[in-house]
Amino acid sequence: MPEIASVALVGAGPGDPELLTVKALRHLQEADVVVYDRLVSRAVLDLIPQGVQRICAGKACGKHLLSQDEINALLVRLAKAGRRVCRLKGGDPFVFGRGSEEALHLAAHGIPFEVVPGITAASGCLAAAGIPLTHRGMATGVRLITGHARGDGELEIDWRALADPSTTLVVYMALAALERFRDGLIGAGLSPTTPAIAVASGTLPEQVLCRTTLAELPAAVMAAGLAAPVMVAVGAVVALGDILGRASMAEEEGHVRQNLG
């Protein structure tokens, strides 16, 4: 029997290949097979050497090439066959990436694994827009939340806990839940004029930014025609993007749409 190989659960970052870590790039170059998700950018996939097997395990809302159980089984099967596996995930594998579920499955089957963190969308995409997650006197904390519940179920959200004007709220996979987040946050007391931004294809040349307010967020995103995946940030720090974003090379090279109504 072949010797069991290891699995690397690797964060591919938000899209820009230059935001990969050195360790992530090494695992890409040393792997026998790369199992990648839909959110991994084409620019990152282009770094995989020729001859390395690629397996797409992409998941979109309601559409799965492989179920999570099938992905878990695939990783175990490949490792037991002696294949060095790079499990490549957009962003960070432990931030809404199901990396911990896969790690638990690998551990349960005695498969050695390593977790390679990646730059998550909250920091990568907002930095590209010139927006800090925290800023003295404006935001003393950050909350990361998903706009998509497991199994397409209903999210259970404590709106009062989220409607904190001293916190930056970042919503992953937010496109289908914009109206619910707007209504829930305003209903819990957050000002309708709180700055908000929606980011599509963050850090990539085709990046689209939609600057608006919490009250106008759903209408502004619809008018801008943003397509999933979309990340949303709400909070006072978003206003800094009007200054820092316009002064940065990242935004000059990207594509910006605004709605400040």
Residues contacting residue 98 through CB under 8 Å, at least 6 positions apart: 68, 89
| Catalytic sites, residue numbers | 37, 59
Q: State the architecture of 121-258 in CATH terms.
A: 2-Layer Sandwich (3.30)
How high is the pLDDT of residue 93? 97
**What is the chain's mean pLDDT, rounded?**
90
pLDDT digits (tens, 9 = 90+) for 123-132: 999 999 999 9
pLDDT band at 147 (very low <50, low <70, confident <90, very high): confident
Q: Which fold has domain 7-116?
A: Cobalt-precorrin-4 Transmethylase; domain 1 (3.40.1010)
pLDDT digits (tens, 9 = 90+) for 44-72: 999 999 999 999 997 654 455 799 999 99
pLDDT band at 261 (very low <50, low <70, confident <90, very high): very low
Side-chain half-sphere CA neighbours of 196 within 13 A = 31
Global pTM? 0.88
pLDDT digits (tens, 9 = 90+) for 82-99: 999 999 999 999 999 999
pLDDT band at 255 (very low <50, low <70, confident <90, very high): very low
Q: Between 16 and 250, where is the model more confident?
A: 16
pLDDT at 113 over 60: yes
Where exactly does CATH 3.30.950.10 map onto the chain? 121-258
Where exactly does CATH 3.40.1010.10 map onto the chain? 7-116
pLDDT digits (tens, 9 = 90+) for 204-254: 999 999 999 999 999 999 999 998 889 999 999 999 998 887 656 444 444
Sheet containing 195-200: give its strands across: 141-146, 167-172, 230-234, 195-200, 208-213, 255-258
Asked if 57 and 6 touch (Cβ cutoff 8 Å), the reply is: no
